[in-house]
Amino acid sequence: MKTYYFDYNSTTPVMDDVQNVILDTMKKFYGNPSNLHKMGREAREILENSRKNVADLIGAGSNEIYFTASGTEANNLALKGLIPFYKKGKNHIITSISEHSSVFETAQFLKKEGIELTVLDVDSQGCIDPEELKNSIKSNTGLISIMTANNETGVIQDIAVISKIARSRGILFHTDAVQAAGKIPINVNDPQVDLLSLSAHKLYGPKGVGALYVRRGISVAPVQHGGGQEHNIRSGTENIPDIAGFGEACRISMQNYENDSKHIMHLKNLLYTGIGDKIKCFKLNGSIATTLPNTLNISFPGCESDTLILDLDSAGFYVSAGSACNSSRRTTSRVLKAMKLKPAEMYSSIRFSLGRDSKEKEVMLLVNTLSEIVGQFV
Contact 203, 179 (CB under 8 A): no
Q: How far apart are CA 336 and CA 274, in angstroms?
A: 23
Annotated catalytic residue: which of 127, 250, 303, 325?
325
303 catalytic, yes or no?
A: no
* Beta-bridge partners for 144: 94, 173
Cα separation, 288 vs 286, in Å, equals 7
Q: 192, 58 in Cβ contact below 8 A?
A: no
Asked whether 146 and 102 are in contact (CB, 8 A), the reply is no
Rounded CA separation 164/171 (Å)? 10
176 in Cβ contact with 95 (< 8 Å): no
d(CA 175, CA 302): 36
Q: Which residues are bridge partners to 297 per DSSP?
A: 351
Contact 213, 176 (CB under 8 A): no
Catalytic positions: 325
